[in-house]
A = this chain, B = another copy of it.
Amino acid sequence: MSYHFLFELALILLSTKVLGIITKRIALPQVVGALLAGLVMGPAMLNILQETTLLDQLAELGVIVLMFNAGLETDLGELKKAGRSAFIIALIGVLVPLIGGFFLTSFFNQGSDTLLQNIFIGVVLTATSVSITVETLKEIGKLSTRSGNAILGAAIIDDVLGIVALTMITSLSGTGANVLVVLLKIAAFFAVSVVVWMIFHRIVEWWFKRYDRDKRRFVVISFAFCLLYAYLAETVFGVADITGAYIAGLIFAKTPRVAYLQDRFDTLSYTLLSPVFFASIGLKVVLPQMSATIILFSVLLVLWAALSKVIGCGLGAKLCGYTNQESLRIGVGMISRGEVALIVANNGIAAGLMKEEFFGPVVLMVIATTILTPIFLKLVYRGKEKDYSDLQESTLVNRYEDAEAFDLAAQALLEDHERLLHGSNEDHKS
C-alpha cells in the first residue's frame, strides 16, 4: 500500500484550515480560503496535490454529508409553503442563463452543427451548486431565514430542471436516453420520496423516542440510510445523489434527536470530509492554453453566469412577493455553480456536444462563481432579516449553526462534571 494519501490528507487539512483562518480574519468566509487552498496546492499553481480516487470519493461523501445536514436543518412545513415560489424562482433562474448562454456562445461559435453545442453551454450555466451557499449561510448564521429557505427549495427544483435540460439535449443529440422515460423516472423519484418520508419519518420518531438518551446507533443507521438513498436516487432514478441525501435529511428533520445528529455529522464533516470537498474543487483547475478570443469569452461567461442567476432568480423571487432585499439575496445565493456544472460539461465532451476549447472557460466560470458567491453573500446579507427561530421556535436548529457555541457549552458541562466527580471522590475517600 502506498501511504502518500496520508500526506495528501494532512496537507489538505492544514492548508484549508490555515487559509480559512486567514480569509476569516479579512472578513471573508472560511470556504473561500478552503477553495484557494485547493487552487494553490493543485495543478493550477504549486502542483503538490492532484485529484485521486480517494479524494474524489471523499469529496463526494463531503457534499452528501453537507446536503444531508442541510436536510436535517430544513423546516419542511416552511419548504412546502415556499414550494410554489421555489418553483417559479428556479424556473426563471434556469431559463435566463440558458437562453442568454446560448446567445453568448452563438456569437463565439459559428458554423454548421453548432446549434446544439451553443444550447449546451446554456445548459451548463443552469445548474446551481447550492452546497457552497449552504456552507456560507451556515457560517454567517443565515440559513434559517426566509431567503435561505427559498434558496434551498429553489436549488432542489433547479437541480431537477437542470437534469431535465441535460437529458433533453443529450437525447436530442442522439446518444442519450428517451426524454419521456427520464421525466417519468424523475417524477417517480419524488413520488417515492413522499411515500418513503411518510413511512420512515414516523418510524424514526418512534425509534428515537424508544430510548431516553442519544445513542451512536442513531447516527450510524441514519448515515447508512442517507448513503443508500443517495445511491438509489443516482442509480435507480437518475437523480443527483446530493438530492437523495437532502431528502434523506428531511426524513430525520424535526425528530427528537435531530440536534444530536447534526452535531455528529457536523463533526464528521469538518474533521475530514468538507476540507477535502472544497480543496478538490480547486484541484480540478487545469487550464489549457487559451487564445485571446477564448479569454474574452471566459470573462463574458463568468459575468453572465453571475448576472443571469441574480436577474432570473431575483425576478422570480420578486414575482413571488419577496422584498427587494430578499430577492437580491436569493439571486446571489443561486450564483454558484460547482461540481454539477463540471459533471455536465464532462458529459458534454463525452457526448460530442462540447468543444475542448470551451472546457477551460467553463472550469473558470465554476471556480469564479464558487469563489464570488460567498463573498457576495456576505455583502448582501449585511443587515437583519426575519429569522425562523422567532416565527417557529425551532431554536434547537439555529443554535447548532454555531457549532463552537455547542463545544463551549459542552466544555462548561465537562468542567462542571469534573467538579462533581472530584467532589464525590473526596466523599469516597473520607
Contacts and interface: CB of A to CB of B under 8 A. Distances in A.
A53 B9 CA distance: 15
Tell which of A9, A60, A219, A220 has the most Cβ of chain B within 10 Å: A220
A21 interface: yes
Interface string A64-107: 10000000000000000000000000000000000000000000
A231 interface: yes
Interface string A241-272: 10000000000000000011001110110111
A56 B53 CA distance: 12
A411 B216 contact: no
Interface stretch (A108-116, A122-130, A309-317, A396-404): A396-404
A10 B56 contact: no
Given A3-B235, A64-B6, A271 B410 contact: no
A62 to B, nearest CB: 11
Tell which of A6, A343, A407, A410 has the most Cβ of chain B within 10 Å: A6
Nearest to A407: B214
B418 A234 contact: no
Contact of A220 (B13, B216, B425): B13
A64 B6 CA distance: 10
Contact of A14 (B1, B224, B414): B224
Interface in A178-236: 213-217, 219-221, 223-225, 227-228, 230-231, 234-235
A427 interface: no
A398 to B, nearest CB: 9
A193 B17 CA distance: 25
A60 B5 CA distance: 10
Interface residues of A, number: 70
Nearest to A215: B404
A395 B425 contact: yes
A172 interface: no
Contact of A268 (B54, B271, B408): B271
Given A413-B409, A418-B395, A422-B395, A275 B13 contact: no
A231 B3 CA distance: 6
Interface string A38-65: 0000000000000001101100110010
B268 A223 contact: no
Given A1-B56, A413-B409, A270 B227 contact: no
28 contacts: A1-B56, A1-B60, A3-B230, A4-B231, A5-B60, A6-B227, A6-B228, A6-B241, A10-B227, A10-B231, A14-B224, A17-B217, A21-B217, A53-B54, A54-B54, A213-B404, A214-B404, A214-B408, A216-B403, A264-B267, A264-B271, A268-B271, A395-B421, A395-B425, A396-B414, A396-B418, A399-B421, A406-B410
Given A216-B407, A410-B410, 19 more contacts: A6-B227, A6-B230, A9-B227, A10-B227, A17-B221, A17-B224, A53-B53, A54-B57, A214-B408, A214-B411, A215-B407, A219-B270, A219-B271, A264-B271, A265-B271, A268-B271, A399-B417, A409-B413, A413-B413
Interface of A: 1, 3-7, 9-11, 13-14, 17, 21, 53-54, 56-57, 60-61, 64, 213-217, 219-221, 223-225, 227-228, 230-231, 234-235, 241, 259-260, 263-265, 267-268, 270-272, 275, 343, 393, 395-396, 399, 403-404, 406-414, 417-418, 421-422, 425
